[in-house]
Amino acid sequence: METASHNPLTVGIQRTLLPEPCSLVIFGGAGDLSRRKLLPAIYNLMQGGVLPANFAVVGFARTDHTDESFRQLARESIQRHSRRPLDEDAFAGLAQRLFWVRGSFTDPSATHRLRERLEEIEPRCGVPGNRLFYLSIPPSAMAACAEQLQTAGLVRPPGAREFTRIVVEKPIGHDLASARELNAGTARVFDESQVYRIDHYLGKETVQSLLVMRFANSIFEPLWNHKYVDHVQITVAEEEGVGTRANYYEEAGALRDMVQNHILQLLCLTAMEPPWALSADVVRDHKLSVLNCLRPIAARDVEQHCVRAQYASGFLHGAEVPGYRNEPGVKPDSTTETYVALRCFVDNWRWAGVPFYLRTGKRLPKRASEIAVQFREVPPILFNVDADSPLEPNVLTVRIQPDEGLSLRIATKLPGPKVRIYPVKMDFRYGTTFGDQSPEAYERLLLDVMAGDATLFMRRDAVEASWTWIQNVLDAWSAKPTRWLPLHPAGTWGPLEADRMIGADGRAWRTL
């Protein structure tokens, strides 16, 4: 697929905000997220020439690191996880801006030491006092951490000359009540404009391009409604099992871990109305409208509209893998779902009667995430008259990972004297067309926090609206406890119950 010869900087969404010089303090600076995502992202941003010239990165945790050992940890993290190879000269420049402060965020003396260290580091690095605090810590500790930052004098009010912002990682609560409590605790210290609730899915290149695809191309938007769309499938499939996250996953499960945040955000971008501007609150207002239009699933209807299951032992790529209940750290009688499928409806004028099918699971055949919009069938006239062999419908598929791009399935005539119809794909792939690796999600999101652009971050009201919808399902499950969930062998696409749910509507799950 060819691209136009225009300068790509002039045809995309214009950025009006630029990242500002700042200090980035990572609470949990030696943790898994910091090593796998944040430190490599900072390196890639610096290598790409988009990081502010004056910046500092401070790791903070109880781990017994020094500046030098933290720099070595960063070097190893970049070697292992960065999309760009490690360049020694470039890393040497980054290393001079990496620092460590040892302590607990619940210890007032430690947060005071952090303030003193920042006041020492920032003049040396040319940072004017702007600060980002990245809370890569358990949700239950976030309110206490925010209070300690305030006690240490590290929180400036909104509108101050030097900004203070915090980044909050998911999970944002365990249910509606805990999400409200966490948000309220954060709000006691920070204004909403200072809080950036991160969902890394919103930083993925294809997810960002959804709005461009819908609203910068005249061919899609006239069809993007109940008159032409039969249904929508949103799939987030994972190959891996629970791995080392059993303690977290036992408390969360697939509904909390993936649907409440990632998948509902994808649904919002797919279903939202055209925003009248691309400013953060306008876009987020329109996404909130979708959540407010989601039809609540009544307790009596949960079994009809929602399927939960666990993966059993099976084979993945020829290797035998254990079932969920046999994974280390998982209770042998666990009823935590590792797979969930839902049928939901957006009750507004555009989407009335169109089902949205959502599914996610672990130990599925491949790692893949996509949004598939299936259009209505053509009338049973001319080429679609044979009821026993109907034409395959048109499907627009947005691939989010790993093969970023989109495809459109259309019907065409096979060459030859007879009229024989065959489905073909018109396919666009980011890597093939643009020839370079897409930035990692955390690169874009960190840059946006530095620029003060909250468009891709979740607002408090949207978080609580998504939990409100999810809570109906959680409450129904709690009211009818079970000792066993449906099982599907590892390496398969889910349980028969999920096939029956969508099959009752005369539809079927896509094979990715």
Could you give the residue numbers annotated as active site?
262
Q: What is the largest CA-CA distance in the chain?
A: 84
Nearest to 458 by CA among 249, 214, 173, 140: 173
Helices (H), strands (E): how many in the chain?
A: 17, 17
CA distance 391 to 382: 11
- Write out the H or E segment, with its range, that includes residue 434: helix 430-434
Nearest to 211 by CA among 282, 317, 131: 282
CA distance 192 to 187: 7
Nearest to 463 by CA among 129, 130, 179, 44: 179
Grouping H, G, I as helix, E, B as strand and the rest as coil, residue 512 is coil
Grouping H, G, I as helix, E, B as strand and the rest as coil, residue 117 is helix
Q: Which two tokens stand for residue 259?
A: 């649907």
CA distance 462 to 289: 9
CA distance 261 to 462: 10
Angle, CA of 277, 282 and 284, to the nearest 5°: 135
Nearest to 346 by CA among 421, 281, 293, 419: 293
Report how far apart, in Å, the C-alpha atoms of 9 and of each of 49, 212, 396, 433, 436 are: 15, 14, 26, 16, 15
Q: How many CB atoms lie within 10 A of CB 281?
A: 14
CA distance 493 to 472: 26
Q: Which two tokens stand for residue 405?
A: 């791009």
CA distance 264 to 270: 10
